[in-house]
Amino acid sequence: MRRRDELAAYRRAGVHMFYLPGEATVAVLVELVSVNLAEICTATSSRRAKLWYLTPEGLTELTPPV
Protein backbone atom coordinates (compact mmCIF):
# COMPACT_ATOMS: atom_id res chain seq x y z
CA MET A 1 0.00 0.00 0.00
CA ARG A 2 3.04 2.25 0.11
CA ARG A 3 3.63 2.10 -3.64
CA ARG A 4 0.76 4.24 -4.85
CA ASP A 5 1.44 3.66 -8.56
CA GLU A 6 1.27 -0.12 -8.08
CA LEU A 7 -1.86 0.15 -5.97
CA ALA A 8 -3.51 2.33 -8.62
CA ALA A 9 -2.62 -0.22 -11.31
CA TYR A 10 -4.12 -3.09 -9.28
CA ARG A 11 -7.26 -1.09 -8.66
CA ARG A 12 -7.64 -0.21 -12.36
CA ALA A 13 -7.20 -3.89 -13.22
CA GLY A 14 -9.85 -4.89 -10.68
CA VAL A 15 -7.50 -7.24 -8.81
CA HIS A 16 -8.39 -8.41 -5.30
CA MET A 17 -5.40 -8.08 -2.97
CA PHE A 18 -4.78 -10.15 0.14
CA TYR A 19 -2.15 -8.99 2.60
CA LEU A 20 -0.28 -11.42 4.83
CA PRO A 21 1.93 -10.62 7.83
CA GLY A 22 5.44 -9.98 6.52
CA GLU A 23 7.29 -11.57 9.42
CA ALA A 24 5.19 -14.74 9.57
CA THR A 25 6.66 -18.21 9.20
CA VAL A 26 5.60 -20.49 6.37
CA ALA A 27 3.52 -22.52 8.83
CA VAL A 28 1.64 -19.41 9.96
CA LEU A 29 1.03 -18.32 6.36
CA VAL A 30 -0.30 -21.77 5.42
CA GLU A 31 -2.60 -21.69 8.46
CA LEU A 32 -3.90 -18.21 7.61
CA VAL A 33 -4.70 -19.21 4.03
CA SER A 34 -6.30 -22.48 5.18
CA VAL A 35 -8.48 -20.76 7.78
CA ASN A 36 -9.56 -18.04 5.35
CA LEU A 37 -9.86 -20.00 2.09
CA ALA A 38 -13.67 -20.18 1.99
CA GLU A 39 -13.94 -16.47 2.82
CA ILE A 40 -11.29 -15.65 0.18
CA CYS A 41 -13.33 -17.53 -2.45
CA THR A 42 -16.48 -15.66 -1.43
CA ALA A 43 -14.70 -12.29 -1.46
CA THR A 44 -13.21 -12.83 -4.91
CA SER A 45 -16.61 -13.65 -6.39
CA SER A 46 -17.54 -10.02 -5.76
CA ARG A 47 -17.33 -7.83 -8.84
CA ARG A 48 -15.70 -4.96 -6.95
CA ALA A 49 -12.07 -5.67 -6.09
CA LYS A 50 -11.02 -4.90 -2.54
CA LEU A 51 -8.02 -5.05 -0.25
CA TRP A 52 -8.02 -7.62 2.53
CA TYR A 53 -5.74 -8.56 5.42
CA LEU A 54 -5.77 -12.21 6.49
CA THR A 55 -6.12 -12.80 10.23
CA PRO A 56 -6.81 -15.93 12.28
CA GLU A 57 -10.33 -14.55 12.90
CA GLY A 58 -11.09 -13.99 9.19
CA LEU A 59 -10.64 -11.38 6.50
CA THR A 60 -10.40 -7.74 7.47
CA GLU A 61 -11.19 -5.22 4.74
CA LEU A 62 -8.56 -2.51 4.38
CA THR A 63 -9.23 1.00 3.21
CA PRO A 64 -6.68 1.98 0.58
CA PRO A 65 -5.06 5.39 0.78
CA VAL A 66 -6.56 7.95 -1.55
pLDDT tens across 44-59, in order?
Answer: 887 788 889 999 999 9
Q: 10-14: long-range contacts (C-beta < 8 A, 24 or more apart)?
A: 10/49, 11/49, 11/64, 13/49, 14/48, 14/49
| 66 lies in some domain | no
Q: Among residues of the chain, what percentage have pLDDT more than 70?
A: 95
**pTM of model > 0.95:** no
> Nearest to residue 33, comparing CAs of 61, 64, 58?
58
Domain that holds residue 45: 4-61
pLDDT for 9 equals 87
The tally of domains found in the chain comes to: 1
